[in-house]
Chains A and B, each alone.
Chain A
Amino acid sequence: MDGWLEVHDSTEQTINRLLETLLTSGVVDGLLVPLRTPDGRNAVPTLVRDPALLERAAPLAPVLPVNGATVLGRITATGAPGRVGAVLRNCELRTAVELSKVQQVLLDDVLLIGMDCLGAYGVEDYARLVEEGLDAVTPALMAAREGGVEPLPGYAFRPACTMCERPIPGVGESYAPHIAIGLLGVPNDERLWVSLRDEELGEALGLEPAEEPAGRIEAVRALVAARTAERDRRFAAFHERVHDASSLLAEFATCILCQNCMRVCPICYCKECIFRTDVFDHPSARYWDWAARKGGVRLPSDTLLFHVTRMLHMAHACVGCGMCSDACPSGIPVADIFRTVGRAVQARFGYVPGRDPAEEMVIATFREDELRELGER
């Protein structure tokens, strides 16, 4: 069911009131939603059970300190005592879908709430912006009404956001959140475009059924096209930069092997990465062996092996959330690399991560009649 939700006071408050209704009416028993930290410089996913806390809810705050699907896993995977409503950006939603395939998120008892993603800033940038007394939300909404998504002057969106061609929930996906809130190409200071999975919820929320406005469809299409172009530009730029062994080594030259990219990657769901287990706990003599064979050995060892292994393990399911680039202290464009590689792997198998919880992961299945060119002379 699609329709309009009237905006009273402000867009954000309207969304917050919707969330409050869900919680107080018992549709959900808890809400996973970004709350402004007490100092206001960040907005962090919070499991809220007391409706009073929702006055700090910041569903539109353009910041992504953590991939919300990771924390959704924490509160659902081993059995949630109640139903949770999860407010997620579209990349987080895709992540949740992927993680549900590997038992790290249980979607059974989750009410997914998505909204048009108008881009996000890095955590540091967002804090600085707040410190400077800037309001990031209102201008973004204003631009969105006209179909545009632009960062504040002097600021830039997270690189992953600039190349995100799937910012709109339910668009191009075969799986939509229970509630999708549309901000783009609609008069979002007057009313919000809302798509619901089930009719009953519509009545509870006081939704006014309507046809999707042409302006919105056009705005979404234009945004997706622009993002896709930026994505392809970044893919091309990566290939321009990295085309052989030495340029690949150069790409990772500044890596300090902090493994932050792995730790923040939601698709790297392993309890402990293999690179942090006994498998890579080499006896000292091994390093001397390598140094003997190759003349020397970079330490800590296995830097490139770490990244390549991560690609082999998870690129097929990379949702492009960009947490890795945010977390890299050396400024390595990890997300660009993984999206480029991921895109190729996904294309080979016609796999679209996050599209559908029923779509089997590339490494979890096979077909007898595929890839016939492999294995033959």
Chain B
Amino acid sequence: MTDFEPRIVAFLCNWCTYTASDLAGTSRIQYPPNVRIIRLMCSGQLDPIYVAKAVLEGADGVLIGGCHPGDCHYQSGNYKARRRVAIIHQVLEQLGFDPDRVWLRWISASEGQYFADTVTEMVAALKEKGPSPFRRQWSV
């Protein structure tokens, strides 16, 4: 399992976590190349179907990045996202899928280092877990 490289699909809020990822780049803060970023205007823009799609298509992890509680650029999108993630976790867990492959993290625009740390941490955690059971699964 040592050569297993996890695939993470990240849905990042434009105003915070995406900007943090930019900042990590600008500051040359290095993090593992395992994440593919989809920019949302707000974590509240995350349709749960996107997460379901990523999971069933075999993403080893899904990272959702939003603004810290109280800091949402659109007032409350992050709280709504948090509810949705809770629903996603419950559904996945009931279906026998490890919900801890779907991470929600509050990462502000200035937390480039924290973004990089989060990706690093997530990659390590996913390496521990091994590949998603849906990886290369043709019959979903």
Contact = CB atoms under 8 A, between A and B. Distances in A.
B49 A244 contact: no
A294 B138 contact: yes
Contacts of B48: 309, 312-313
A271 interface: no
Contact of A362 (B58, B76, B87): B87
Given A248-B95, A295-B136, A298-B138, A366 B52 contact: no
A316 to B, nearest CB: 6
B140 A366 contact: no
A302 B53 CA distance: 9
A344 B69 contact: no
A288 to B, nearest CB: 13
Contacts of B127: none
B83 interface: yes
B91 A315 contact: yes
Given A246-B133, A366-B76, A295 B138 contact: yes
B91 A312 contact: yes
Contact residues on B (Cβ < 8 Å of other chain), bracket = 35 or more
A368 B95 contact: no
B86 A348 contact: yes
A274 B53 CA distance: 14
B86 A312 contact: no
B66 A375 contact: yes
Contacts of A313: 48
Interface residues of A, number: 47
B36 to A, nearest CB: 14
A344 B82 contact: no
Chain A interface helix/strand/loop/mixed:
helix
A311 interface: yes
A375 B137 contact: no
B84 interface: yes
B97 interface: yes
B124 to A, nearest CB: 13
B95 A345 contact: no
Contact of A377 (B83, B84, B118, B137): B118
A79 interface: no
A363 B96 CA distance: 23
B90 interface: yes
Given A371-B86, A374-B82, A244 B96 contact: yes
A374 B82 CA distance: 7
A243 B91 contact: no
B96 A245 contact: yes
B134 interface: yes
A144 to B, nearest CB: 34
A338 to B, nearest CB: 10
B53 A344 contact: no
Contact of A303 (B83, B136, B140): B140
Interface in A351-376: 362-363, 366-368, 370-372, 374-376
A345 B138 contact: no
A163 B23 CA distance: 54
A340 B90 CA distance: 10
Given A274-B49, A296-B138, A312 B118 contact: no
Interface string A216-257: 000000000000000000000001001111111100010000
A210 interface: no
A340 B139 CA distance: 23
26 contacts: A239-B94, A245-B96, A245-B134, A246-B133, A249-B140, A293-B136, A295-B136, A295-B138, A305-B52, A305-B140, A308-B95, A309-B52, A312-B48, A312-B52, A312-B91, A315-B87, A316-B87, A340-B94, A344-B94, A349-B83, A366-B82, A371-B82, A371-B86, A375-B69, A375-B78, A375-B82
Interface of A: 239, 242-249, 253, 274, 291, 293-298, 302-305, 308-309, 311-313, 315-316, 340-341, 344-345, 348-349, 362-363, 366-368, 370-372, 374-377
Given A308-B95, A312-B87, A348-B90, 17 more contacts: A248-B97, A294-B58, A297-B138, A298-B139, A298-B140, A302-B140, A304-B56, A305-B140, A312-B48, A313-B48, A362-B83, A366-B76, A366-B82, A367-B79, A370-B82, A377-B105, A377-B118
Closest 3 CB pairs of A and B: A245-B133, A296-B138, A366-B79
